[in-house]
Amino acid sequence: MRNKHQERISLETARILLNIGAINFNISTPYKLASGLLSPTYVDCRKIISEPKSRSKVIDFFQEIFLKELKNEKIENIAGGETAGIPFAALLADRLNLPLCYVRKKPKGYGKNSQIEGSIKQNQNILLVEDLATDGGSKINFVNALRKGSAKCNNVFVLFYYNIFDSTRKLLSDNSINLYYLTTWHDILSYAKKENLFDIKTLTEVDNFLSNPTLWSEQRS
């Protein structure tokens, strides 16, 4: 169960995302997610980087949770995942005065064929920063690349965690990965209901999707 401190950050982040138009609901023409599932919801965290006040506030929250939850991890480097994670990693690394690197989805295929850009040291403890986490698959790919590059990476920090797939936590745990996040779809829906931001039909349909995303998608395929 989250404490009041975490709850405050989650709902405030949800408010920011809704206010800048990063949250999209469309029950008539569902979005197709990277996983292939159809969804009445879509979040675009990248919108934050164009909003200075929102961007600064979100990095405040990243720093706040980092100092509270990760202070004993002795993080030595911040890594951004290609591409959406890079700006958030850069902003956090600058705020914490830590080295920065970034990880490609796959080796670039020319030159040194690098998958990791920037400098990492043997056994350096690296925090992976991403914009969001859905089923956890891409996070494992990035973490494995860092580990293959001789680093230690057991912690992932995302702005947005879907928190609707039962297998995500187990998948990450099985790969020795701890997940930290600012907000979830449930926080978004809670805030949207409280503020009456969408009509009842839309909110009900989104609720149905969040309860069983696979079934919701199958019924519309």
Q: Are residues 68 and 9 in contact, defined by beta-carbon separation less than 8 angstroms? A: no
What's the confidence (pLDDT) of residue 111? 73
CA nearest to 129, candidates 109, 143, 115: 143
Mean pLDDT of the chain: 94
User: Distances in Å between the alpha carbon of 52 and those of 46, 100, 171, 173?
Assistant: 12, 21, 35, 35
What's the confidence (pLDDT) of residue 113? 79
- Burial tier of 146 (Cβ tally within 10 Å: 0-12, 13-18, 19+): buried
Give strand pairing partners of 100: 78
Q: What is the dihedral of CA 85, 214, 8, 1, to 10 degrees?
A: -110
What's the confidence (pLDDT) of residue 166? 87
Tokens read off for 161: 């965690």
Tokens read off for 219: 């019924």
pLDDT in tens, 136-174: 999 999 999 999 989 999 999 999 999 999 899 999 999
CB neighbours (10 Å) of residue 171? 16
DSSP structure string for 109-146: SSTT--SEES---TT-EEEEEEEEESSSHHHHHHHHHH
Sites in the chain below the pLDDT cut of 70 = 1
CA nearest to 179, candidates 134, 216, 125: 134
What's the confidence (pLDDT) of residue 1? 61
Give the architecture-level CATH label for domain 4-218.
3-Layer(aba) Sandwich (3.40)
